């Protein structure tokens, strides 16, 4: 079993978790929560800067915001601030132990629902939970991050592992370009579950959490052991299965639940060249026979976890050279040899990647058009710099070779320059445009050119992901 110790840090300037506490997971005879408070060691200023909840994040149904907690902790009176912080630590400790009154649980662990439209046309229910519940979950998430990464790696890279999505994309491209791999083994299967987070079996989840990360079990069972109330307009919905999308512990809980399936595939289909997951998105690479064996395991194990494949959104990809005369492929999963999109990044021949990137750039242009309706030059500039210029292309730039990009991103830079000219009400000389790409601290305005930065961005991604790429692909 495990114990959670919430204590003040030994020195100032080292606060990591809220409530000026470091959450340590240790081995002990039984789960319990201990609190030691030394008011003189609490660093209010540092906590106010490193509080894990965004200050302006939405509140739950009670209306309590993280900004309210920050203002209370950082009030001008040091004595009151210290007292508030110590009380907050006690509340975090109490809730983290699962010692919450049963009458409070449906409200504390419930959430307000926000219906977000998906690109595919469906609806994604985002749960906006109570701030105190999110605060406790953030504490746990931070404390078990490294332990969870050691349990989940190398196949699940969606929790606690930096650059996981990029590493999967780079690994696929490396395997497809490796000449030593037979063409018949370069088939890729992209997996997608139907409404995965909202349908998982909680009884299986609790069993896996008790076995693998027992320090989380009391709090997670407090949150999901009953039927939390989800509020959507005038309707109240009882949450009977799954984890809430919006819960800081949701990705970790889902990843732990998926481990039995991942371990079964690893044990029974060792011939797979790539077996990687980013939360509920799975990517398998290997021969058609290996992919079929993995699919059979998913069809067998998935329902017991509360998961079912959305076969219309799954996809099998193989380069044209990999296609023999007869290949045993499932009839109910779409197949393509043109290319496919993995975690937002195009994979396939250069012409396919260019077409995907061109469509993405056109969407950015469409989003930029209404900026002038704001009739506020500064707001337009901030949105253009921070949201609608280079940041919009970061995923593509980090995962696609510059040789493919350079033929198209020049158009993107020209359009951004035109938007800047319209914003200031006049044309700019080439020298002025070049100066505008500099950071503000160097006399520019931070509108970086994608064509100039693309090679460095791609190399930085490959360099950062190299150890994980080698671990996923098994290549040296």
Residue 5: pLDDT band with limits 50, 70, 90: very low
pLDDT tens track for 190-209: 999 988 898 999 999 999 99
Q: Is the pLDDT of residue 8 over 90?
A: no
pLDDT tens track for 314-354: 999 988 876 665 667 788 899 999 999 999 999 999 999 99
Q: Is the pLDDT of residue 370 over 50?
A: yes
pLDDT at 44: 46
CA angle 21, 251, 88 (to 5 degrees): 25
pLDDT at 322: 63
Q: What is the mean pLDDT of residues 360-372?
A: 91
Residue 13: pLDDT band with limits 50, 70, 90: very low
Domain limits of the chain?
A: 350-464
Residue 30: pLDDT band with limits 50, 70, 90: very low
User: When comparing pLDDT for 266 and 475, which is higher?
Assistant: 266
Q: Which of 12-16, 23-27, 393-397 has the highest mean pLDDT?
A: 393-397
Terminal-residue alpha carbon distance, the chain = 39
- The full 3-state SS of the chain, as one line of letters, equals CEEEEEECCCCCCCCCECCCEEEEEEECCCCCEEEECCHHHCCHHHHHHHCCCCCCCCCCCCCCCHHHHHHHHCCCCHHHHHHHHHHHHHHHHHHHCCCCCCCCHHHHCCEEEEEEECCCCCEEEEEEECHHHHHHHHHHHHHCHHHHHHHHCCCECCCCCCCHHHHHHHHHHHHHHCCCCCHHHCEEEEEEECCHHHHCCHHHHHHHHHHHCHHHHHHHHHHHCCCCEEEECCEEEECCCCCCCCCCCHHHHHHHHHHHHHHHHHHHCCCCCEEEEECCEEEEEECHHHHHHHHHHHHHHHHHHCCCECCCCCEEECCHHHCCCCCCCCCCCCEECCCEEECCEEECCHHHHHHHHHHHHHHHHHHHHHHHHHCCHHHHHHHHHHCCCHHHHHHHHHHCCHHHHCCCHHHHHHHHHHHHHHHHCCCCCHHHHHHHCCCHHHCCCCCCCHHHHHHHHHHHHHHHHHHHHHHHHCCC
pLDDT tens track for 116-175: 887 777 788 888 888 889 888 888 888 888 899 999 989 999 998 999 999 999 999 999
Mean of the per-residue pLDDT values of the chain: 83
């Amino acid at each position: 079993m495990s114990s959670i110790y919430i204590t003040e840090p030994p020195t100032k300037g080292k606060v990591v978790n809220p409530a000026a506490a470091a959450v340590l997971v240790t081995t002990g005879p039984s789960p319990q929560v201990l609190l030691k408070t030394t008011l003189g060691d609490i660093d209010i200023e540092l906590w106010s800067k490193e509080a894990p909840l965004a200050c302006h994040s939405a509140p739950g149904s009670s209306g309590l915001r993280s900004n309210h907690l920050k203002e209370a902790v950082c009030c001008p009176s040091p004595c009151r601030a210290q007292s508030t912080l110590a009380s907050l630590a006690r509340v975090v400790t109490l809730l983290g132990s699962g010692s919450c009154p049963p009458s409070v649980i449906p409200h504390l662990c419930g959430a307000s629902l926000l219906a977000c439209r998906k690109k595919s046309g469906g609806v994604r229910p985002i749960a906006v939970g109570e701030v105190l519940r999110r605060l406790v979950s953030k504490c746990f998430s931070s404390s078990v991050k490294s332990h969870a990464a050691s349990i989940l790696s190398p196949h699940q890279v969606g929790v606690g592992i930096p650059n996981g999505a990029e590493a999967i994309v780079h690994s696929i491209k490396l395997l497809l370009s490796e000449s030593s791999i037979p063409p018949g083994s370069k088939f890729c299967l992209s997996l997608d579950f139907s409404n995965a987070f909202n349908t998982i079996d909680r009884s299986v989840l609790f069993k896996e959490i008790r076995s693998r990360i027992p320090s989380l079990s009391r709090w997670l069972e407090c949150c999901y052991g009953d039927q939390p109330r989800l509020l959507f307009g005038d309707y109240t919905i009882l949450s009977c299965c799954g984890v809430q999308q919006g819960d800081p512990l949701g990705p970790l809980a889902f990843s732990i639940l998926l481990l039995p399936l991942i371990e079964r595939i690893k044990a029974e289909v060792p011939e797979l060249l790539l077996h990687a997951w980013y939360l509920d998105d799975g990517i398998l690479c290997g021969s058609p026979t290996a992919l079929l064996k993995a699919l059979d395991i998913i069809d067998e194990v998935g329902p017991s976890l509360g998961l079912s494949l959305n076969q219309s959104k799954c996809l099998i990809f193989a380069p044209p050279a990999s296609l023999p005369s007869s290949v045993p492929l499932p009839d109910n999963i779409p197949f393509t040899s043109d290319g496919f999109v993995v975690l937002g990044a195009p994979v396939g021949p250069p012409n396919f990647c260019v077409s995907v990137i061109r469509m993405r750039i056109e969407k950015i242009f469409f989003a930029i058009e209404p900026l002038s309706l704001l009739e506020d030059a500064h707001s337009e500039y901030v949105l253009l710099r921070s949201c609608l210029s280079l940041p919009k292309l970061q995923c593509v730039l980090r995962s696609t070779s510059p040789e493919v990009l350079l033929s198209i991103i020049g158009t993107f830079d020209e359009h951004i320059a035109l938007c800047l000219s319209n914003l200031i009400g006049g044309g700019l000389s080439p020298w002025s445009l070049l100066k505008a790409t500099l950071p503000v601290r160097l006399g520019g305005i931070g509108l970086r050119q994608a064509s100039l930065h693309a090679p460095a961005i791609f190399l930085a991604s490959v360099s950062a992901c190299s150890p994980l790429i080698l671990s996923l692909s098994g290549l040296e």
